Amino acid sequence: MDNVEVFDSPGKGRGLRAVRELWAGDVLFIEPSYAAVVFDRLAARVFWRLDKEGGIVSDLQLTTIDSLEDHVSDMPEEDLQQLKIDIHNFLDYWPRTSKPHNVDSISHILGVINCNGFTVSDQRGLQAVGVGLFPNLCLVNHDCWPNCTVILNNGNQSAVNKMYHSYRRVELRSLGNVKEGEEITVSYVDYLNLSHERKRLLKDQYFFDCTCEHCTTGTKDDLKMAGKVVDGVKVPDEQVKEVTEYSLDILKKMEQARVDGKYHEVVKICRECLERQEPVLADTHIYQLRMWSTASEVLSYLQYFSEAATYARKMVDGYLKLYHPNNGALGMATMRAGVTHWQAGLIEVGHGMICKAYSIIMISHGPTHPITKDLEAMRQQTEMELRMFKQNEFVYHQMREAALKNQPMSMQAEPVEEGIKNLFRRK
C-alpha cells in the first residue's frame, strides 16, 4: 500500500497511519470484500473462503482473518449466550460434507463479524441489504472527529462489455489534510449523538472506552443541548430542560407513528412539538434537529413541499454548525434539502444547496459513486432551470406547473415589464 502502513497505536492496538501527506478527497486505499452476503450467512462465506484460499487473498491485504480482534472475552453474559446459540445454528447450517470447524474457530469468526462487519447497502447507499468483511478496514481505529471516511461503492456490472465492469469495494477517503505519520481514523458512530451516548454505543458494540478529544472535553455537547438566544437574552435553563424532556418523550411517540406508517399522525406530532421547541431551543439542539429532519422527510413524501423546505433549511443550518464540513451525512442532508426546495419551486435556494451537497459528496464519496453522479445531473438540471427562472419567472413557474401536472404548457399572457427577455420566445 502506497498511502498507509500498520503501526502500534498507543492505547488502541494496531492501527494505520499515513506514509505521505494527504488532501481532502484523496483515496487512501480501495478494498474488495473478503466476504459479503445477505444477512445471517457471512460466517459460512468466510469459512468457505478460508478453506479454499486461506486468510490472505491479496498482496495488498495487511492482516489475516485469524489475527483480527474478536472481543469474545469482553462480551457480557447475555451476548455470550447469544453467541452459543449462533454457534449451534452455524453447526446445523454448515454442510456435513464440508471441512469441519471447531467451536473456538467459529466463535472467533462470529466475534470478528460482530465487531468488524461492515453494512453493505444498495447501489446508492440508501438501504442496507447485507454485511461484509473487509480486513484492511478493520485496522482503522475510531475517532469521533475523524480525518477519513469509508464509503461503499457497489461498482458497475451492468455494462454489456465485461471490460468495463467494476467490483464492489470500500473506499477509504480523506476528509481533509492528513499529515505524514498521522493516524488514520474513521467514526464508528454518528457525531450527532452526545459524547456520553457515543461512548456508551462504542463500549456496547466495540468494547472500548473512547478517549478522543471530543469525548474527553464534551466538544459541542453544549450546542447540542443549547437554549435559544432571543435579542441577546438566553432562554432560562429550566425552560430549556423542560422542553428537552418533553421532546425526548415526543420523539419516541413520533418514531412509533412513523414505524406504523401513520404519516399524517407523524406530521401532526412534529408540528405540535415544534411549536414548543422553536421558541425555546437553539437551532443546534439535537432533539429539534431530529424533529425538523423527520418533518421535512415525511412532508416531502406527502408532497407538502413548501413546508418541508422550511424545515429542511433549518435542519441544514443546524447541521452546518455541528458536523465536520466534509461529513457525508451533512452532504446527504444538504442534498435532500436541496431537492425539497427544488420540488417546492424555490429554484435559487435549491440549486445552491445541490451545489453545496455536490462539493461535499465529491470529497466523501468520490466522482464515480452513483450518488455523486445523481447530484451532478441535478446540478446541471437546476442550473438550466435557474437560467430560465432569471430570464422570466412567470414562464418558468408556468412550465413547472405544467410539468408537475404532466400537461403541455399553454402560453398565456403574463404580467411582465417591457424589455424582459423571454427564453422560450426567442427566435
- Residue 8: what pLDDT? 94
CA gap 323, 81 in Å, rounded = 38
- Residue 407: what pLDDT? 52
Query: The dihedral of CA 394, 396, 399, 404: what is its sign?
Result: negative
- Residue 35: what pLDDT? 86
- Residue 119: what pLDDT? 80
CA gap 325, 320 in Å, rounded = 7
**pTM listed for this prediction:** 0.87
Reported as a single tens digit per residue, the pLDDT across 294-353 is 999 999 999 999 999 999 999 999 999 999 999 999 999 999 999 999 999 999 999 999
Intervals of the chain under pLDDT 70: 38-40, 122-128, 155-166, 406-427
Q: Residue 354 corresponds to which cell in the numbers above?
A: 445541490
CA gap 250, 291 in Å, rounded = 9
User: DSSP letters of 113-182?
Assistant: HHHH-EEEE-TTSSSEEEEEE-TTGGGPEE-SS-SEEEEEE--B---SSGGG-B--EEEEEESS-B-TTP
- Residue 418: what pLDDT? 37
User: By the 8 A CB rule, do 362 and 25 touch?
Assistant: yes
Burial of 78 (0-12, 13-18, 19+ CB in 10 A): exposed
Separation of CA 77 from chain center: 32
- Residue 162: what pLDDT? 53
